[in-house]
Amino acid sequence: MSYPLLATDQPFILEKDGVSYDAATAVRALGIKALEQQQDLADRLNEKWDGRVQYIDDLPEAFAGHEPEPRFWFANRYRWLNEMAETNGDVGILGITEAATSFTMTNFWHPNRIGHREYAKLVQVTGVSANAPLIGGNSADIDVVFTIDTTGSMSDDIAAVRANVHSIAAAVQERAGTVRYALVTYQDHPSDGGGPDDYPSRVDLDFTSDVAALQAAVDAIELGYGGDDAESVYSGIDAGLSLAWRPGVRKTMLVLGDAPPKDPEPVTGFTWQDMADRAFAVDPVQIYLVDTSSAADASMTSLVDETGGIVFRVGGSEDIADSFVEAVSDVLDKPFAWLQGPYVAKVGTEVTLDARGSHAIGAQIVSYEWDFDGDGTYETTTTEPMTTHRYDELITGFVGVRVTDSNGEHSLGSTRLAITRDGDEIPDEFDNCPDVANPDQQDADGDGVGDECQEPGHFSVGLAEGVTIVEETPTPTESPSPSPEPSVTPSASPSASASASATPPPSVKPRPGLPSTGVVAAA
């Protein structure tokens, strides 16, 4: 997308030593030059890769009349960009833009909330958003981790996997879009039930789309001892969950074993609930178990159930490949649950949770169940993909949604949640503004106090020494039409503390709280 021009189309003339300079016109000219360079880059890319880039070049026209007022003691009443010392501008009374005061400079001259909505409209007009693939994709992109018990009793089962790697991959590829595979193996802790050469878990192959690499990794599996009946299943699952899964795709782990987990697991202390919580945090990973003997005890079954998987009890090694394919098909048949995030907010505030990225294939989503604190309990159910919840306690964890489609299939989505004292995640002992959210910790004057926490009057605005403004009375112009977007009431700005001699046009109002004398920061 192009960028709006950063000054309205009116002069703002500065003078020094008898030399005049129209700063507003120069800012607009610089913006036009930048747009020309953007267009040139887009054209060059499309020459090499036809149609790769669709450049939306009409933001200057769309934002005409809604740019920042160049004179910093006035504000454009109908601005769609934040001006100096403000943030979160939105439509207020009578369609006039209202904004909250902010001294964080990275907020200045960027689109405000109205501007972002206008950006979205322009994207929609081009058809880009309508043609963009859904998050998760109708093609059902998926990451698959094989987590396999490699103790001595698994010899025939692993041989069956070796013989069927390519057929499994081919069957999965018929249903899926992009597929990545990983291989994790587990045995037992040498210090607690395993043999001296056993290991609790190992990543034999990190995520790859190369089926030949997966075949080579399976071929290279060597059997261990395993010792007692139960194995370090949770260590294997934990190793798989720790891999770098892709965001926005379906995720599944296929566990193959003939022995149950140790719960709690010696050395690590892992329980099935620990593994369920970890799978949920990854945006969830659905865990499926292919049990060739006695792996599906009560703990393992609880883990599979809570993550949305299935236990396959096979009669012989010849059924393993079909069970893997059936498990992946089950994942792909379910709706895709997506929860926008992460969410960071101040305790005592309402948070709007957004699951609009969720979708079903060949069906419709009919309900959204919301787990506001990630404890596995769904506190409310809606038929709409958005809901609002007030958080009155500090939380560091996850929030989840379970979506159900018209076929009765359901799946989970999760994202990180942080409800903190001030609304950012900086620990108080390191936070230069511990009572106000300022995640970027901006401190323009380096005094150790964040800009958002400075006392009124600490910052002031002025001109360089010897520079004066050539005062002119602007010609009143017709105000642009205010945005018809719904009103949002932002924080109130402080009352005006200064005035200027120029007479503003109807679309301009005095800026509150900005004295016209001083230097960058008061002493």
pLDDT given for residue 124 in this prediction? 82
Helices 320-333, 155-175: inter-axial angle, 10-degree rounding: 30
What CATH number was assigned to the domain covering residues 348-420? 2.60.40.10
Listed in order, strand segments (DSSP E) in 327-394 are 343-346, 349-354, 365-371, 380-382, 386-391
Contact assessment for residue 398 and residue 379, using Cβ atoms and an 8 Å cutoff: no
pLDDT given for residue 210 in this prediction? 98
pLDDT given for residue 518 in this prediction? 33
Q: Please tell me the class of the 142-333 domain.
A: alpha beta
β-strand pairing of 410-420 with 343-346: parallel
Gyration radius of the chain's alpha carbons: 30
β-bridge partners, 97: 91
- Residue segments in the chain with a per-residue pLDDT below the cut of 70: 127-139, 471-506, 511-523
Distance, in Å, from the CA atom of 103 to the CA atom of 115, rounded to the nearest integer, reads 20
Q: What share of the chain is helix, strand, coil (3-state, %, to 5)?
A: 25, 25, 50
Sign of CA dihedral 470, 471, 472, 477: positive
| pLDDT tens-digit series, residues 245-256 | 999 899 999 999
pLDDT given for residue 130 in this prediction? 60
pLDDT given for residue 457 in this prediction? 78
pLDDT given for residue 488 in this prediction? 34
**Segments making up each domain of the chain, as ranges:** 13-131+460-510, 142-333, 348-420
> Are 142-333 and 348-420 the same fold in CATH?
no
| Portion of the chain with pLDDT greater than 70, in percent | 88
pLDDT given for residue 324 in this prediction? 98
Contact assessment for residue 116 and residue 134, using Cβ atoms and an 8 Å cutoff: no
What is the separation of C-alpha 386 from the centre of its chain, rounded to a whole number of angstroms?
A: 16
pLDDT given for residue 473 in this prediction? 47
